[in-house]
């Protein structure tokens, strides 16, 4: 029994001990697992956080990349724009410089047919012995292609106070400088006072300054060509505009011109020629009055001629010498321009000028009257009557009339085609008259010297 | 018989051709002022609606460009926001033997625009001149905030540029800092986005910006119909059409219509003021 109790106690103790021991052994194992699990959990949580962060980053990544790229692009474009702005500023600056320089000009290519008269002996020369002889230069007329004018004009205007002009001309057989001048404008009075100096147009009338590129007939009137050859001189000109419609010019010039066979940079007369011109321009009508006072130079001459009888000295010739002279040269002129649209076809213009004065000791007079009718925008018809008398008191042989009908057609904005016919009436002098066997004694004969001109002009 | 048929056929062809020419619409070109561009376009639209056979082309470029086009023959009508210069009339006279025909078609007040956020509401002509010549460069000098003034203006081919220079600046040079923009719309657009900006242009373009009143000895005037027509607004001006010669045919018809009550109603709708 006792044995049974001992065994039962022993079993209980053993069980308890076993349980205790088992519990004792089991406890550290459970803690480790929990720790391990906790560690694992922590690890996983950390990993999850990382993944979540990565996911968040991954989710945010495309948006941020797009935004960054767009911002980058905008920055690039801004830079490019700034670059373009800088280039534009440089270009504008260069362009502003170029705008100060204006290039213009025109070319006139011509065909000319000049009629001729085989009986006209145009030149009479006298040799040193006083023997006269005649020749017939140009009496065969001409049929020729040539370039009448080829102008290239540079106008530099650095500002409102100054301007510089150079015009080069390649005409017929030579290249020359037509214009070389400077214009200075004062900024103080408001009267538009300007000073022009160099080589430029004489401030006379209308036609002298009217560009050949605008003229409806091929050449200026004979009076202008005779009294103002080349239309330019060297000097100085003061221009005043006391009113918006009034312009007054006052000039001092050498008076020698630039289109003269004896053209020189010096002035043989020393005294300057004075030109004054006043113009009132009302738009539809403009009136011009001009005055010229100057001198021309008559160089010394020496003429040797055969004596009619041999004097005691035995010389067969005699020599006459004249001293050089400075002679008066004066002109007065007036002009009118009128523009009005009478017809539905287009505008009508009337231009007229007259001049009278003293030239090389002789009284001269001349002028022209021109009527122009526009027909639509591209065509105009012009008719000019032109007269010049180189010696009013010298009889009928110094008188020339020319009637010129002309048609102008604008091929486009730059090109103009012109056909003109000069019907010239020239009174032959006595020697010309005598050379024509068909001419009755004492009659005045008009030689055949009419001219057809066909011209293509391009203006730029 | 054969010969007779041929003659009839030729006559028919000729008749059809002539009829075609007669019925063919006339194309009219208007070129020049950007100020007048809106008005010209509206006129063209309305006129073409009423006259289906006529085609009207309207382009800008500036008054100077339009006048040059009139002289070289590349436009029928020049729209200009300034009067032609004597030198331009001379060129027209040399080319067409006509002094041209000047037709005032509308009135305008050159308007100074600022941002709607800008507190400045009026300026004197002297202040405007000082601002645009660069003598005043900060808004604080004219009653505004302490901020630099940003100048916007037109290019020198613009009639408004020339008019503003002549009348407001008394022919003084614009400040070198002025930004020249191609067209009044560009000026308005720039000013509307720039709180410190100031620009000028036609009254009809003043949308999304604030108009500045001009203060004179008699009062302060905005470019309203009454002030412009009475001349109280100092920058009042006429807007012109220029022609090479007396108008005829379809051009005369268009001119007469533009000056008629129907044409002048469009002037008001666009934002300018009638000529009468």
Residue B262: which CATH number?
A: 3.40.190.10
Q: Which domain holds residue B131?
A: 111-234
Q: Which residue has the tokens 């613009």?
A: B158
Written as six digits, the tokens of A445 are 């004969």
* Band of pLDDT at residue A67, cut at 50, 70 and 90: confident
Using alpha carbons, select from B259, B255, B262, B251 the residue that is nearest to residue B276.
B259
Looking at the predicted structure, is the pLDDT value of residue A193 above 60? yes
How confident is the model over A103-138, as pLDDT tens digits?
999 999 999 998 876 655 444 444 444 444 444 444
Q: Which residue has the tokens 């065509």?
A: A379
Can you list the pairs that B250-256 forms with residues at least 24 positions away whose Cβ atoms lie under 8 Å?
B250/B26, B250/B28, B250/B54, B251/B28, B251/B76, B251/B77, B253/B51, B254/B28, B254/B43, B254/B47, B254/B54, B254/B56, B254/B77, B255/B77, B255/B103
> How far off is chain B from A130, nearest CA to CA, in Å?
53
Query: Is B213 found in the same domain as B148?
Result: yes
Mean pLDDT across A413-417: 93
Query: Is B230 found in the same domain as B115?
Result: yes
- Pairing mode, strands B213-215 and B122-124: parallel
How confident is the model over A302-359, as pLDDT tens digits?
777 666 665 655 666 667 777 677 788 899 999 999 999 988 889 999 999 999 999 8
pLDDT at A297: 78
Query: Is B93 found in the same domain as B144?
Result: no
pLDDT at A458: 96
Residue B21 lies in a domain: no
Using alpha carbons, select from B159, B141, B142, B139 the residue that is nearest to residue B151.
B139
**Distance between CA A277 and CA A248 in Å, rounded?**
6
The verdict on A347 touching B (C-beta cutoff 8 Å) is yes
How confident is the model over B21-41, as pLDDT tens digits?
444 457 999 999 988 999 999
Measured between CB atoms, which of A284, A341, A413 is closest to B72?
A413
Written as six digits, the tokens of B253 are 């018809």
Residue B35 lies in a domain: yes
User: What is the complex's ipTM, to 2 decimals?
Assistant: 0.72
Q: Which residue has the tokens 């990544």?
A: A61
A378–B244 C-beta distance less than 8 A: no
Query: Is B73 found in the same domain as B34?
Result: yes
Neighbours of A315 (CB within 10 A): 10
Question: First CA to last CA across chain A, in angstroms?
Answer: 148
> How far off is chain B from A369, nearest CA to CA, in Å?
15
A458 contact partners, CB below 8 Å, separation of at least 6: A106, A107, A414, A415
Determine the residue of chain B that is closest to A342 in CA distance: B246
A-B contacts (CB, under 8 Å) = 44
Residues 230-269 of A with CB under 8 A from B: 244
Looking at the predicted structure, is the pLDDT value of residue A269 above 70? yes
A244–B96 C-beta distance less than 8 A: no
**Distance between CA A240 and CA A193 in Å, rounded?**
5
Query: Is B226 found in the same domain as B174?
Result: yes
> How far off is chain A from B245, nearest CA to CA, in Å?
7
Written as six digits, the tokens of A305 are 């001629």
Query: Is B188 found in the same domain as B228?
Result: yes
How far are the Cα atoms of A13, A25, A396, B50 from residue A17, in angstroms, in the given order? Answer: 6, 12, 171, 120
Query: Is B170 found in the same domain as B65?
Result: no
Residue B115 lies in a domain: yes
Written as six digits, the tokens of B152 are 């916007």
Domain residue limits, chain A? 28-99, 100-459
Mean pLDDT across B247-260: 94
The fold of the A100-459 domain, in CATH, is Porin (2.40.160)
Domain count for chain B? 2
**Distance between CA A186 and CA A193 in Å, rounded?**
6
Residue B230 lies in a domain: yes
Query: Is B59 found in the same domain as B172?
Result: no
How confident is the model over A377-388, as pLDDT tens digits?
899 999 999 999
How confident is the model over B106-157, as pLDDT tens digits?
999 999 999 999 999 999 999 999 999 999 999 999 999 999 999 999 988 8
pLDDT at B146: 95
Looking at the predicted structure, is the pLDDT value of residue A18 above 50? no
Query: Is B156 found in the same domain as B115?
Result: yes
Mean pLDDT across A172-199: 91
> How far off is chain B from A382, nearest CA to CA, in Å?
11
Query: Is B145 found in the same domain as B65?
Result: no
């Amino acid at each position: 029994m006792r044995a049974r109790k001992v065994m039962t106690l022993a079993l209980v103790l053993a069980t308890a001990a076993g349980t205790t021991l088992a519990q004792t052994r089991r406890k550290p194992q459970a803690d480790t697992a929990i720790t391990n699990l906790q560690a694992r959990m922590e690890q996983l949580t950390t990993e999850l956080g990382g993944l979540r962060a990565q996911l968040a980053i991954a989710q945010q990544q495309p948006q941020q990349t797009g935004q960054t790229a767009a911002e980058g692009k905008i920055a690039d474009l801004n830079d490019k724009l700034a670059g373009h702005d800088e280039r534009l500023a440089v270009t504008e600056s260069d362009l502003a410089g170029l705008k100060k320089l204006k290039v213009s000009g025109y070319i006139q290519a011509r065909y000319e047919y000049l009629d001729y008269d085989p009986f006209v002996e145009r030149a009479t020369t006298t040799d040193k012995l006083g023997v006269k002889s005649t020749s017939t230069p140009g009496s065969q007329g001409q049929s020729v292609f040539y370039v009448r004018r080829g102008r290239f004009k540079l106008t530099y205007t650095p500002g409102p106070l100054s301007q510089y002009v150079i015009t080069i001309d390649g005409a017929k057989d030579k290249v020359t400088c037509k214009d070389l001048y400077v214009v200075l404008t004062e900024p103080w009075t408001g009267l538009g006072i300007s000073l022009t100096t160099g080589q430029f147009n004489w401030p006379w009338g209308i036609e002298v300054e009217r560009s050949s590129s605008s003229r409806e007939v091929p050449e200026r009137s004979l009076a202008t060509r005779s009294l103002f050859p080349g239309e330019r001189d060297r000097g100085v000109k003061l221009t005043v505009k006391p009113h918006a419609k009034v312009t007054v010019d006052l000039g001092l010039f050498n008076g020698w011109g630039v289109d003269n066979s004896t053209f020189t940079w010096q002035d043989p007369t020393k005294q300057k020629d004075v030109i004054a011109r006043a113009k009132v321009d009302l738009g539809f009508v403009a009136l011009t009055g001009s005055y010229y006072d100057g001198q021309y130079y008559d160089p010394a001459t020496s003429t040797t001629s055969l004596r009619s009888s041999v004097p005691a000295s035995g010389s067969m010739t005699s020599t006459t010498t004249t001293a050089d002279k400075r002679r008066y040269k004066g002109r007065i002129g007036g002009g009118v321009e009128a523009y009005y649209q009478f017809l539905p076809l287009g505008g009508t213009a009337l231009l007229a000028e007259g001049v009278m004065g003293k030239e090389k000791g002789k009284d001269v007079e001349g002028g022209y009257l021109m009527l122009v009718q526009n027909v639509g925008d591209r065509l105009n018809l012009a008719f000019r009557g032109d007269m010049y008398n180189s010696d009013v008191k010298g009889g009928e042989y110094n008188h020339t009339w020319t009637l010129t009908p002309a048609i102008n057609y604008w091929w486009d904005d730059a090109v103009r085609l012109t056909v003109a016919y000069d019907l010239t009436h020239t009174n032959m002098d006595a020697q010309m008259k005598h050379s024509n066997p068909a001419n009755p004694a004492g009659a005045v004969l008009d030689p055949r010297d009419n001219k057809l001109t066909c011209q293509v002009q391009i203006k730029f | 018989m054969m010969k007779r048929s041929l003659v009839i056929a030729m006559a028919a062809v000729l008749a059809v051709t002539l009829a075609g020419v007669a019925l063919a619409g006339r194309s009219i070109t208007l070129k020049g002022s950007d100020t007048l561009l809106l008005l010209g376009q509206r006129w063209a639209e309305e006129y073409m609606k009423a006259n289906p056979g006529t085609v009207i082309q309207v382009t800008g470029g500036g008054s100077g460009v339009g006048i040059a086009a009139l002289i070289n023959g590349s436009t029928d009508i020049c729209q200009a926001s300034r009067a032609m210069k004597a030198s331009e009339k001379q060129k027209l006279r040399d080319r067409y033997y006509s002094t041209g025909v000047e037709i005032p078609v509308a009135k305008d007040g050159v308007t100074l625009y600022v941002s709607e956020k800008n507190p400045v509401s009026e300026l004197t002509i002297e202040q405007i001149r000082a601002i645009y010549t660069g003598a005043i460069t900060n808004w604080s000098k004219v009653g505004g905030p302490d901020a630099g003034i940003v100048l916007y203006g037109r290019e020198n081919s613009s009639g408004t540029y020339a008019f503003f220079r002549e009348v407001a600046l008394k022919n003084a040079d614009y400040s070198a800092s002025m930004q020249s923009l191609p067209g009044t719309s560009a000026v308005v657009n720039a000013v509307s986005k720039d709180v410190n900006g100031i620009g000028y242009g036609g009254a009809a373009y003043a949308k999304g910006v604030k108009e500045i009143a001009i203060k004179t000895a008699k009062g302060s005037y905005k470019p309203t119909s009454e002030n412009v027509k009475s001349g109280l607004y100092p920058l009042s001006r006429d807007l012109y059409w220029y022609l090479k010669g007396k108008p005829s045919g379809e051009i005369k018809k268009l001119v007469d219509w533009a000056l008629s009550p129907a044409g002048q109603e469009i002037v008001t709708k666009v934002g300018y003021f009638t000529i009468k």
